[in-house]
Amino acid sequence: MEDFSLPVLLNYLPLLLSGLPGTVGIAFFAILCGVFIGFFAGLARVSLNPVIKHLATIYVEVIRGVPLLVIIYLIYFGLGSFVDIPRYAAAVISLGVFSGAYVAEIFRAAVESVPSGQMEAALSVGLTRGQALRKIILPQALKRMVPPLAGQFISLTKDSSLASVIAIPELTLTTYQAITMTFRSFQFWMTTAFMYFVLGWVLQRVARYLERRFAVID
């Protein structure tokens, strides 16, 4: 095994850390994109309109059946051959489209986990289905979405490492660069693993906090 060298690590730490904003930025915008897509796809999944419902189902099933790496290549090289698409945007769109399918499923499951009696009670007092969904079902469903969504966001943050394949300057790419220059792969991958862990841990704490806050309402 290679010997561990603290001076080398410290020397290249700025390079490594220069990838952190890339990782956080891509993860952040991909989460926004994924929640946006997932919210509407999820709504479509519980729609009474069969066409809308089927389109959403096809989206979810196709995306869940294709590896994220392939989606990134498809969007960057495939879409990129028709329109000029910045690599940063390609990464955010790929991750967003990918996680949108999972967010849609989380959304659907949460809505369906609200007892059917809630919808019936809302209808029985004369509300429309839309009013019932917005004011009665969604507030209860959103609370149930917090834990699985947190898991999804953590996955997405880690999956942003795949953006390195289209040369996005994020944590995994800067780690490659440091190793290429120093030939000390183990210590740099350990450091990088630790940084991903810290990011995920912070998200978990936030999720825990939100869960507790929402629980008070019940």
Site residues, other proteins (CB under 8 A): 115, 117-118, 120-128, 131, 135-136, 139-140, 217-218
Q: How far is the CB of 124 from other proteins (least distance, A)?
A: 4
Determine phi and psi for 2, rounding to 5 degrees.
-65, 150
C-alpha distances out from residue 10 to 14, 23, 123, 171, Å: 8, 20, 64, 16
Residue 44 C-beta: closest distance to other proteins, Å: 23
Residue 125 CB, nearest distance to other proteins (Å)? 4
b or e along 178-206 (b: 16 or more beta carbons within 10 Å of the residue's beta carbon)? bbeebebeebbeebbeebbeebbeebeee
Other CB atoms within a 10 A radius of the CB of residue 13 amount to 13
| Shortest distance in whole angstroms from residue 112 CB to other proteins | 16
Q: Which is nearer to other proteins, 8 or 127 (CB)?
A: 127
| Residue number, 54 or 135, with CB nearest to other proteins | 135
Q: Which is nearer to other proteins, 61 or 211 (CB)?
A: 211
If the CB atoms of residues 137 and 199 are measured against other proteins, the closer one turns out to be 137
